[in-house]
Amino acid sequence: MRPEILFPLFKPVTALPGVGPRLAKAIETIAGSRVVDLYWHLPSGLIDRRYAPKVAEARPGEIATMTVRVERHLKPGNPRLPYKVYAADETGTLALVFFHAHADYLRRALPEGEVRVVSGTVEHFGREVQMTHPDHIGTLDELERLQTVEPVYPLTAGLTLKVLAKATAAALDLAPDFPGEWIDPPLVRQRGWSAWREALAAAHRPDGPAALEPVAPARARLAYDELLANQLALALVRLNMRRLPGRAVVGDGRLRAKVEAALPFSLTASQVTTLEEIIADMEAPTRMLRLVQGDVGSGKTVVALMAMLAAVEAGGQAVLMAPTEILARQHAATIEPLAAAAGIRMGLLTGREKGKARAALLEGLADGGIDLAVGTHALFQEGVEFRDLALAVIDEQHRFGVHQRLTLAAKGRGVDVLVMTATPIPRTLMLTAYGDMDVSRLTEKPAGRQPIDTRVLPTERLEDVVAGVSRSLAGGAKVYWVCPLVEESEVLDVAAAEERHDFLRHALGERVGLVHGRMKGTDKDAAMQAFAEGPPSVLVATTVIEVGVDVPDATVMVIEHAERFGLAQLHQLRGRIGRGAKASTCLLLYASPLSETARARLAIMRETDDGFRIAEEDLKLRGAGELLGTRQSGLPEFRVADLAAHADLLAVARDDAKMILERDPELESARGQALRTLLYLFERDAAVRFLRSG
């Protein structure tokens, strides 16, 4: 239950004075629908009204706050001309200019003979000093209030700065003084942070450009709060998992030995180390939750298989879950002969297995007739029972949500969980998505891999590229041709896969296939299969090929509009080639003009093939939110924290969360209580439920 002190913050913004339904709608699109959302909608700029010159000294183009005596109103004879009010100080006359003026209002706001404070942008018009539509008009006692620095917020249609600033000020008035501090006091002192309420107020009242920087103390503190909530929530989920009864899964190695003997290669040192780490986890009486991070082509599948074999040796069952149908089938095809060599039974379960075949499969899983199952998320649907599931491997490629991953093991099956991810995630992002999860990294590629020759070319060179592809085909290569969208969109000028397919058929003949995301599953598989098993050909594809499909003799890849792809995605795509012993080439075609960021991205692609380095560079270039597509990646979104700027704080938050739970695992101390409030403040309610008295 959310603590009462937070109730006002989670009310809708319509609870604020002056905010009606229409305004609430506008606020919702830019900030959110609740009072607390306005807290996290921080200023993006400021207007400094402290410059208070005399009229004669006022610099044109600058915002000035001036104290003047109103002299006379000049109502134009022609309503299309502006209404003017002349005011002056001892140095000169200032013309206040109003278009479409309401004379009544102006007479009240600027009575002749009275002193008024006006604030706005100064202009020189001929010899006249002017201010058109002053932002503020006030009396002399209001000078102090007017001559300040105003925050500027990101806005949206139907929302003016004045209105949003007012709503935000009202929201800030509701901010409570929390009775306890949730951050470790020495840290607060060391960083020179203030208490939450003050920090929040200061973040919304920047006194200069420095206060807008993410590292400004007020903003850093709020970011730390958010990161701490994130890390504490993850640590709680994890602690809870560790408390669930696990089991020691100890195999005798007999199946692994058979499969190793059947493999046409020996394992890399990275694969061996990773396997040792996995096996140690499985043999321990607690539950495993381990992430294997390995670049495309680093050989994760065989590692997963070995772990699954260990589970089967111990008398249990194991599953391998893939994010797509194609991948599940490919894994099954890889594993089947090896499982046969080991003398165990493998089953495949996706949404497409139906009727009798499906029934037989389910029966095999339930009675133990099947030792090892490969499939899609269909494996975890209702009605799928296992005789004794010991290990679940999730080849996730960012398609499964964090929550799904972390709670999978809590579904009462007592399973060890191994997650495999192909996009190397920068360490900072790893922490936010997985917390202090055990990680193994496959840093080494299998021997014999040739580096990929990557070149960057403008789209204008298309003819040359097609000629080059034609030569490659003649030389026996298979070629991927990647287009960013399925259908032609003239507006966006995106090369369409279908049109490109036609074009290449004309240029190169019949051996050009097509696969895209809108095709039926069976058609997609058929196209992939024809490409994988048939003679050299070109496969025109949208990004569906991104996810793991293995065609070792594909050695050329053309990516059109490479400038539209993120680095991580380009790297994923490129990982589809260079998987065999032959040298590969990747051609990145771009449409001019290239943005600065796009240019930098393509340069990095040319420079390195190291997925970990690429991921770090991507984080630097784009910021975390955008990095992998937050929704798809299951990475959490942050409201205040900026992972590029606050990476150091994230590390501190991680250590702090760990220490907190070591000392006070139920969050019962005074600080523990404050931390519970923090979790609710950042809506990590689910994590609080893991506490005994949550």
Query: Interface residues with ligand ADP (CB under 6 A)?
Result: 265, 267-268, 271, 294, 296-302, 422, 446-447, 548, 550, 552, 579
Q: Write down the least CB distance from residue 447 to ligand ADP, Å.
A: 6
| Min dist. Cβ of residue 550 to ligand ADP (A) | 5
Sheet arrangement for strand 438-442: 346-349, 372-375, 317-321, 389-395, 416-421, 289-294, 438-442
Q: How far apart are CA 28 and CA 641, in angstroms?
A: 20
In the complex, the smallest distance separating the C-beta of residue 213 from ligand ADP, rounded to whole angstroms, is 40
Cβ proximity to ligand ADP, 134 vs 294, nearer residue: 294
Residue 296's binding partner out of ligand ADP, Mg ion, none, with CB under 5 to 8 Å set by partner kind: ligand ADP
Question: Which CB, 290 or 300, lies closer to Mg ion?
Answer: 300
What, of ligand ADP, Mg ion, none, does residue 7 touch, CB below 5 to 8 Å by kind?
A: none
**Residue 347 near which of ligand ADP, Mg ion, none (CB within 5-8 Å, type-dependent):** none
Query: What one-character DSSP code corresponds to residue 489?
Result: B
Q: Are strands 346-349 and 136-138 parallel, antiparallel or unpaired?
A: unpaired
In the three-class reduction of DSSP (H, G, I as helix; E, B as strand; rest coil), residue 454 is classed as strand
When the beta carbons of 219 and 331 are compared against Mg ion, the nearer one is 331
Residue 593: is the preceding peptide bond cis (ω within 30°)? Answer: yes
Query: Which residues have CB under 8 Å from 200's CB, separation 6+?
Result: 39, 172, 175, 218, 222
- Contact present, 295 and 424 (Cβ < 8 Å): yes
Least distance from Mg ion to the Cβ atom of residue 547, Å: 8
Residue 294: both structure tokens together: 């390995």
Nearest residue to ligand ADP on Cβ basis: 299
Helix (H) or strand (E) holding 301: helix 300-313
Segment 298 to 357, residues that bind Mg ion, using CB under 5 A? 300
Q: Near Mg ion by CB under 5 A, which window of 81-89, 548-556, 633-641, 673-681?
A: 548-556
Cα(14)–Cα(8) distance, integer angstroms: 12
468 binds, among ligand ADP, Mg ion, none (CB under 5 to 8 A by kind): none
Residue 120, binding choice from Mg ion, ligand ADP, none, Cβ under 5 to 8 Å by partner class: none
**Shortest Cβ distance from residue 441 to ligand ADP (Å)?**
12
Of 547 and 570, nearer to Mg ion (C-beta) is: 547
Report the residue number, 39 or 531, with the smaller CB distance to ligand ADP. Answer: 531
**Quick one: what does residue 552 bind among Mg ion, ligand ADP, none, with the CB cut-off 5 to 8 Å set by partner type?**
ligand ADP
As measured in angstroms, the least distance from the Cβ of 361 to Mg ion is 23
Round to whole Å and give the CA distance between 450 and 448: 6
| Between 43 and 323, CB nearer to Mg ion | 323
The token duo for 149 is 């620095």
AA identity, residue 505: R
DSSP 3-state percent helix, strand, coil across the chain (nearest 5): 45, 20, 35
Which is nearer to ligand ADP, 52 or 532 (by Cβ)?
532
Q: For residues 237 and 690, is the Cβ–Cβ distance under 8 A?
A: yes
Min separation Cβ 421 and ligand ADP, Å:
10
Position 548 contacts Mg ion (CB under 5 A): yes
Q: Which SS3 state, helix, strand or coil, does residue 540 take?
A: strand
Alpha carbon distance 333, 337 (integer Å) = 7
Q: Supply the minimum distance, in Å, between the C-beta of residue 379 and ligand ADP.
A: 18
- Number of residues in the chain: 694
Question: Shortest gap between Cβ of 265 and ligand ADP (angstroms)?
Answer: 4
Report in angstroms the alpha-carbon separations of 677 from 7, 196, 222, 540. Answer: 11, 12, 14, 53
Nearer of residues 468 and 548 to Mg ion, judged by Cβ: 548
Work out whether 43 is an interface residue with Mg ion (CB under 5 A). no
Which residue, 212 or 532, is less far from ligand ADP as judged by CB?
532
Q: Which helix (H) or strand (E) holds 256?
A: helix 254-262
Which is nearer to ligand ADP, 269 or 467 (by Cβ)?
Answer: 269
Separation of alpha carbons 170 and 155, rounded Å: 17
Q: How far apart are CA 427 and CA 434, in angstroms?
A: 10
Compute the least distance from the CB of residue 303 to Mg ion, in Å.
10
Partner interacting with residue 294 (select from Mg ion, ligand ADP, none; CB below 5-8 Å by kind)? ligand ADP
Catalog residues that contact Mg ion under the rule CB under 5 A. Answer: 300, 548
